[in-house]
């Protein structure tokens, strides 16, 4: 069935358009923000409809020709067909709406710090096909879309894509389709390739023999183990004046231009020189950008914790402790014993475990800075903190992901 002449009034985080018709919300695939369209209904749920655009009736005022030739097939970007100013407005609304829905708070305008629109990603992940070609996935069908350029990848990655594909082709043609996925990371000086697949001993021996002198740092991911083929298994990055070792499996923020600004917002909100507990600390890039010393970090990835310790040495810290642990097992005794003044949390998309909110609130910490890549879980967790006596004090967003509906938000909460 076709619904006619519906106007796209918003965009979801997954890139689908939002429209309303006869009291129902419609989520529309392939829609452009601001356009009026006809859509074919794919599924009818109790409170909403799922649909796919069948034709545009009235073009959007915000629309532009996407500069990437793969945009209409590739699932890597979802809103490259609208101008950047509107992308920023949409992200602002996404955060405001999520917070309004969870907490009832009507925020004034939120500042969203803009990014250069293209060539910003220091990491991309691609699917490798049977012949070794490099692909993104189509958004809805998950079909592979072969690419030999990517406008949001930084120049170092983009310039090397064709040569990197020569490696994946050579290996996959010799050992039919053995590499399934590749993640490509670039620092200022080097490129690191993580190849994922079902490597058998023969293939591992061959890849070692053939690529141990590669100009790239190459690793194989076999089950959860990392086999270093060439280079060091990590990259060195600089954020401001500080230097960081980031291993192949550590988290690292993907936008080269914005990382310092993101952590700068956290520092501005928190002030310096307090004893800081950094939950979900990764390799401690954020806490060491906020504080020069006095850091306790907790992180589930043991390797990232080893790197955090190394990073503390590299940056001359004297008072630090990094613990490999699930954040939900941190308790009040620990927080009191460490004489913590302030806490930063930077969890994955799922947000904070309820236990973590409870522990922080019971420890009576005055200032909490929450760095979040998901406005929905952030809003849910803000509500949980409010229910435990905290106040939403400040909020600012940083666009780390132009051409997509993703955004980082930094929030300061304090005891009422």
Ligand X SMILES: C[S@@+](CC[C@H](N)C(=O)[O-])C[C@H]1O[C@@H](n2cnc3c(N)ncnc32)[C@H](O)[C@@H]1O
Q: Which of 152, 281, 343, 357 binds ligand X (CB under 6 A)?
A: 281
Burial of 82 from C-beta contacts in 10 A (0-12 / 13-18 / 19+): buried
Position of tokens 């293939």? 203
**Whole-angstrom distance, CA of residue 193 vs CA of residue 388:** 45
Question: Is residue 251 within the footprint of ligand X (CB under 6 A)?
Answer: yes
Question: Is residue 280 within the footprint of ligand X (CB under 6 A)?
Answer: yes
Question: CA 55, 61, 65 angle in degrees (round to 5)?
Answer: 70
Judged by beta carbon, residue 153 or residue 298, the one nearer ligand X is 298
What is the C-alpha R_g of the chain? 23
Closest-approach residue to ligand X (CB): 282
For this structure, is 68 an active site residue? no
Could you please report the per-residue DSSP string of 171-196? HHHHTTT-EEEEEEEE-SS-EEEEEE
Q: Give the shortest CB-237-to-ligand X separation in angstroms.
A: 10
Q: 68, 77, 150, 373: which is the annotated catalytic residue?
A: 373
Question: Is residue 175 within the footprint of ligand X (CB under 6 A)?
Answer: no
Burial of 186 from C-beta contacts in 10 A (0-12 / 13-18 / 19+): buried
What x/- string results for residues 295 through 324 when contact with ligand X is judged by CB under 6 A?
---xxxx--x--------------------
Judged by beta carbon, residue 74 or residue 369, the one nearer ligand X is 369
Question: Is residue 154 within the footprint of ligand X (CB under 6 A)?
Answer: no
Judged by beta carbon, residue 218 or residue 308, the one nearer ligand X is 308
Q: Give the shortest CB-311-to-ligand X separation in angstroms.
A: 11
Q: Which of 103, 168, 255, 285 binds ligand X (CB under 6 A)?
A: 285
Q: Give the shortest CB-333-to-ligand X separation in angstroms.
A: 18
Contact 379, 416 (CB under 8 A): no
Judged by beta carbon, residue 132 or residue 282, the one nearer ligand X is 282
Judged by beta carbon, residue 4 or residue 349, the one nearer ligand X is 349
**Whole-angstrom distance, CA of residue 252 vs CA of residue 249:** 9
**Whole-angstrom distance, CA of residue 415 vs CA of residue 201:** 57
Q: Considering only residues 326 through 365, tell me which ones interact with ligand X, judged by CB under 6 A.
A: 326-328, 346-348
Q: In what order do the strands lie in the sheet with 112-113?
A: 112-113, 390-398, 408-415, 367-372, 342-345, 276-279, 295-299, 320-324
What x/- string results for residues 10 through 39 when contact with ligand X is judged by CB under 6 A?
------------------------------
Question: Is residue 253 within the footprint of ligand X (CB under 6 A)?
Answer: yes
The H-or-E segment that residue 229 falls in is strand 225-230
Q: How many residues bind ligand X (CB under 6 A)?
A: 19
Judged by beta carbon, residue 273 or residue 326, the one nearer ligand X is 326
Burial 36-51 (b: 16+ CB within 10 A, else e): bbbbeeeeeeeeebeb
- By annotation, the residues acting in catalysis are 373
Judged by the rule CB under 6 A, the positions of this chain that interact with ligand X are 251-253, 280-282, 285-286, 298-301, 304, 326-328, 346-348
């Amino acid at each position: 069935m076709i619904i006619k002449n519906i106007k796209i009034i918003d965009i979801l985080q997954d890139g689908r358009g939002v429209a309303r018709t006869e009291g129902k919300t419609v989520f529309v695939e392939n829609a452009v923000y601001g356009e009026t369209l006809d859509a074919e209904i794919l599924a009818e749920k109790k409170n909403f409809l799922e649909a796919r655009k069948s034709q545009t009736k009235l073009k959007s005022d915000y629309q532009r020709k996407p500069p990437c030739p793969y945009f209409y097939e590739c699932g890597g970007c979802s809103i490259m067909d609208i101008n950047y100013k509107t992308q920023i407005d949409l992200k602002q609304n996404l955060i405001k709406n999520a917070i309004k829905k969870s907490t009832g708070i009507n925020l004034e305008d939120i500042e969203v710090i803009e990014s250069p629109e293209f060539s910003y990603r220091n990491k991309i992940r691609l699917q490798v096909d049977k012949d070794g070609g490099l692909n993104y996935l189509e958004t809805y069908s998950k079909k592979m879309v072969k690419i030999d350029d990517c406008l949001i990848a930084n120049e170092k990655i983009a310039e090397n894509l064709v040569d990197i594909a020569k490696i994946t082709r050579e290996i996959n043609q010799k050992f039919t389709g053995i590499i399934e996925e590749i993640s490509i990371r670039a620092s200022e000086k080097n490129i690191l390739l993580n190849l994922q697949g079902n490597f058998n001993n023969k293939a591992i021996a061959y890849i070692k023999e053939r690529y141990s002198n590669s100009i790239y740092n190459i690793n194989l991911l076999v089950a959860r183990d990392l086999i270093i083929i060439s280079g060091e298994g990590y990259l060195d990055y600089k954020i401001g004046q500080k230097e960081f070792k980031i291993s192949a499996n550590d988290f690292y923020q993907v936008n080269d231009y914005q990382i310092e600004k993101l952590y700068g917002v956290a520092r501005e909100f928190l002030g310096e020189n307090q004893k800081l507990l950094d939950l979900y600390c990764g390799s401690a890039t954020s806490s060491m950008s906020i504080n020069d010393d006095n850091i306790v970090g907790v992180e589930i990835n043991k390797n990232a914790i080893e790197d955090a310790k190394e990073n503390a040495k590299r940056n001359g810290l004297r008072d630090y402790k990094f613990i490999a642990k699930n954040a939900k097992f941190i308790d009040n005794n620990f927080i009191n014993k460490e004489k913590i003044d302030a806490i930063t949390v930077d969890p994955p998309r799922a947000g904070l475990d309820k236990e973590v909110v409870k522990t922080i609130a019971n420890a009576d910490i005055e200032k909490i800075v929450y760095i979040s890549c998901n406005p929905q879980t952030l809003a849910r967790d803000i509500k949980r903190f409010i229910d435990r006596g905290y106040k939403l004090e400040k909020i600012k967003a940083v666009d780390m992901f132009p051409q997509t509906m993703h955004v980082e938000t930094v929030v300061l909460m304090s005891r009422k």
